[in-house]
Amino acid sequence: TFKLVIAGGGSTYTPGIVKSLLVQKDRFKLNELVLYDNNAERQEAVGVIVRHVVEMFDPELKLTLTTDPEVAMTDADFIFAQMRVGLYAMREQDEKIPLKYGVVGQETCGPGGLAYGLRTIYPMVELIDYCEKYAKPTYWIVNYSNPAAIVAKATFRLRPKARILNICDMPVAIERNMAEILECDRHDLEVDYFGLNHFGWFTKVRLNGEDVTEKLKSYVAEHGYMPQNAKSDVLHSDPSWLHTYENAKNICSAFHDYLPNTYMQYYLLGDEVVKSSDPNHTRANEVMEGREKRIFDAVADYRAGKDVDLTKFFGGVHGEFIVDVAMSLAFDLRKRYLVMVENNGAVENLPSDAMVEVPAYITDRGPEPVRVGEIPTFYKGLIEQQEAVEKLIVDAAVEHSYEKALMAFTLSKTVPSLLVAKKILDDMIVANKAYWPEL
Ligand code: G6P
Q: Is 169 a catalytic residue?
A: yes
Q: 87 by DSSP, 3-state: which?
A: helix
Q: What is the mean pLDDT of residues 109-129?
A: 98
Cα 84 to Cα 39, 91, 181, 220, 258, distances in angstroms: 11, 9, 32, 32, 32
Is residue 162 predicted with pLDDT exceeding 90? yes
What kind and span of H or E run contains 405?
helix 402-411
pLDDT band at 324 (very low <50, low <70, confident <90, very high): very high
Helices (H), 7-142: 14-22, 40-57, 69-73, 87-100, 110-134
**What pLDDT was estimated at residue 316?**
84
Q: 381 by DSSP, 3-state: which?
A: helix
Q: What is the mean pLDDT of residues 107-129?
A: 98
Please give the Cα distance from 213 to 73 (Å, whole number). 44
The burial of 29, by beta-carbon neighbours within 10 Å (0-12 exposed, 13-18 middle, 19 or more buried), is given as exposed
The predicted complex's ipTM stands at 0.97
Please give the Cα distance from 156 to 137 (Å, whole number). 18
> Vertex 258, ends 252 and 259: CA angle to 5°?
60
By 3-state DSSP, what share of the chain in percent is helix, strand and coil, each rounded to 5? 50, 15, 30
Say how many Å lie between the CA of residue 108 and the centre of ligand 1.
9
Q: What is the pTM of this model?
A: 0.97
pLDDT band at 233 (very low <50, low <70, confident <90, very high): low
Q: How many CB atoms lie within 10 A of CB 352?
A: 12
Q: Which of 325, 170, 304 is nearest to 248 (CA)?
A: 170
Q: What is the mean pLDDT of residues 320-346?
A: 98
What kind and span of H or E run contains 4?
strand 2-7
Is residue 81 predicted with pLDDT exceeding 90? yes
User: Is there a contact between 134 and 69 (Cβ–Cβ < 8 Å)?
Assistant: yes
Is residue 213 predicted with pLDDT exceeding 90? yes
Is residue 216 predicted with pLDDT exceeding 70? yes
Is residue 243 predicted with pLDDT exceeding 90? no
Is residue 375 predicted with pLDDT exceeding 90? yes
Q: What is the mean pLDDT of residues 328-354?
A: 98
Q: Which atom of ligand 1 is nearest to the CA of 291?
A: 14
Q: Which of 107, 108, 292 to mutate to test the pocket of ligand 1 (most atoms within 8 A of CB)?
A: 107
**What pLDDT was estimated at residue 314?**
81
| Gyration radius of the chain over CA positions | 21
pLDDT band at 304 (very low <50, low <70, confident <90, very high): very high
Is residue 228 predicted with pLDDT exceeding 90? no
Q: Dump pLDDT digits (tens) for 381-434.
A: 999 999 999 999 999 999 999 999 999 999 999 999 999 999 999 999 999 999
**What pLDDT was estimated at residue 393?**
98
Q: What is the mean pLDDT of residues 22-48?
A: 97
Phi and psi of 248, rounded to 5°?
A: -55, -25
The burial of 312, by beta-carbon neighbours within 10 Å (0-12 exposed, 13-18 middle, 19 or more buried), is given as exposed
Render the burial of 230-264: b for 16+ CB within 10 Å, e for the rest: eeeebbeeeeeebbbbbbbbbbbeeeeebbbbbbb
Say how many Å lie between the CA of residue 406 and the centre of ligand 1.
26
**Distance between alpha carbon 124 and the CA centroid of its chain, in Å?**
14
Active-site choice (144, 263, 267, 337): 263
User: Is there a contact between 12 and 291 (Cβ–Cβ < 8 Å)?
Assistant: yes
Is residue 231 predicted with pLDDT exceeding 90? no
> Vertex 203, ends 357 and 376: CA angle to 5°?
85
**What pLDDT was estimated at residue 312?**
83
Q: Which of 198, 201, 194 is nearest to 358 (CA)?
A: 194
Neighbouring residues of 13: CB distance < 8 A, sequence distance ≥ 6: 82, 144, 318, 319
Give the pocket of ligand 1 (CB within 6 Å). Answer: 108, 146, 168-170, 173, 236, 283, 287
Active-site choice (37, 169, 324, 395): 169
CA-based end-to-end distance of the chain: 45
Q: What is the mean pLDDT of residues 193-199?
A: 98
Q: Which of 233, 244, 158, 148 is nearest to 197 (CA)?
A: 148
Report percent pLDDT > 70 for the chain: 98
Please give the Cα distance from 279 to 282 (Å, whole number). 6
- The protein residue whose alpha carbon is closest to atom 8 in ligand 1 is 170
Q: Is 263 a catalytic residue?
A: yes
